[in-house]
Structure 1
């Protein structure tokens, strides 16, 4: 089964004609406009929606959804996540990975010590960072932040679901 990847979120209503602000999680941000169709989660259900239009307003994107003709209708979609099927994403280059493919992988250091699983990735602007969570024998969670940079990452093996790192 093809998994859904969150690629953005609908923001607050814009104006009185049913437009919404659009928050893209893609890099570059404009890529979200070309990934179609969208699936939007509203009231706990995913629904396929094809945006009617996307415009730039004050250098920020706004979107018009079908049957969303006034501010009240648009407000119902505020903060709804936007997803696409994983198969809609272009194939990454060699040694490049989508964050969604790395989440859940086990992180092991050069001493063959399991550091935990990747639960999240984020960008600092300078580089990307993995949030790695380990659960000890008592069930206590411990998180560590490990930079996702060339001299730290030794190997990514998606088949074995493992990332090997140079980290203590």
Structure 2
């Protein structure tokens, strides 16, 4: 498990006073209002950034960092990710998992067949869809619904699923 979770990506600067537009990569966009700090991933290092102010504009978050008062000071960080430590992550409900923890999990059917490895999660709005890559390199799409997802064990990195009729070729 990763020690940090990505909550957003700096999409662009906003104005000339050092604010940035952040594209959230979290389900709860309002969580930015509760954050006091994030780690900015420059590609070489992760810089601790104190959050001075947050406001919302459509599907984006406008963030002002403490000590950044000029567009020239922040412009170089466009496309950089914003991360939080696990202790600042949102609390999960029962049967909820962070996508980062699920990537790489081994998936088997309730009939004991090894289906492959979870490589992606597609968020559709209605329910997530798990993308499982089999040993034959084919991808299997499994809806993340109670009828299909029988058991998830993050510690052992295993998932047991029931394949509904029509899910295979």
Stretch moving more, 55-64 or 45-54: 55-64
1:45-56 map, 5 Å: 45-56=45-56
* Contact 1:108 1:164 (C-alpha < 8 Å) held by counterparts: yes
Shift of 1:50: 1.2
* Residue 140 of structure 2 is aligned to residue 144 of structure 1: yes
- 1:94 corresponding residue in structure 2: 94
Distance 1:59 1:131 in 2: 26
* Contact 1:155 1:163 (C-alpha < 8 Å) held by counterparts: yes
1:1-168 map, 5 Å: 3-57=3-57, 60-136=60-136, 141-167=137-163
Which stretches in structure 2 are left out of the alignment for 5+ residues?
Answer: none
Distance 1:104 1:149 in 2: 19
Which stretches in structure 1 are left out of the alignment for 5+ residues?
Answer: none
Q: Alpha carbons of 1:87 and 1:116: their partners in 2 closer, same or farther (altered >3 Å)? A: farther
Distance 1:59 1:90 in 2: 19
Distance 1:102 1:53 in 2: 32
TM-score where L is the length of structure 2: 0.85
Q: How many residue pairs get matched? A: 164
Shift of 1:58: 5.8
RMSD of aligned alpha carbons: 2.1
Secondary structure of 1:92's counterpart equals coil
* Contact 1:2 1:87 (C-alpha < 8 Å) held by counterparts: no
Secondary structure of 1:52's counterpart equals strand
Distance 2:8 2:99 in 1: 14
Shift of 1:35: 3.4
Secondary structure of 1:50's counterpart equals strand
* Contact 1:16 1:70 (C-alpha < 8 Å) held by counterparts: yes
TM-score where L is the length of structure 1: 0.85
